[in-house]
Amino acid sequence: MVEDPVVGGLVGSTLACVIGDQFRRSRDGDRFYFENPGIFTASQVTELKKSSLARIFCDCGDRITQVPGDAFMLPQGNLIPCSKLPSIDLSKWKE
């Protein structure tokens, strides 16, 4: 906690290493993680990577036409029309 924060971070290099390792282990140990082999086809993974929380807001919200580009940040007047956000092509899941 007394270390200088890493570039773009809030914690020092030691805690960043511990946190990063824990997240990597959680991801790799999750047998249903979408990038693990055998879960989805390559084209399905490509489509899933197009997804964003902003796109989910557009698709699921009532009368939402604009969202912040990064839905995790407070809007600073930089709203993006929902029509400009990529959407998932669900035809990749047809058999």
State pLDDT tens for residues 51-81: 999 999 999 999 999 999 888 888 888 899 9
pLDDT score of 13 more than 90: yes
pTM listed for this prediction: 0.70
Q: Is 32 contained in some domain?
A: no
Is residue 24, in this structure, part of any structural domain at all?
no
Beta carbons within 8 Å of 85's beta carbon, 6+ residues apart: 52, 54, 55, 58, 67
Within-domain flag for 56: yes
Domain membership of residue 76 (yes or no) is: yes
Considering its fold, how many domains does the chain have in total?
A: 1
Residue 6: pLDDT over 70: yes
Report yes or no on 68 lying in a domain: yes
Residue 4 located in a structural domain = no
Range of the domain at 78: 49-93
Find residue 67's DSSP bridge partners. 80
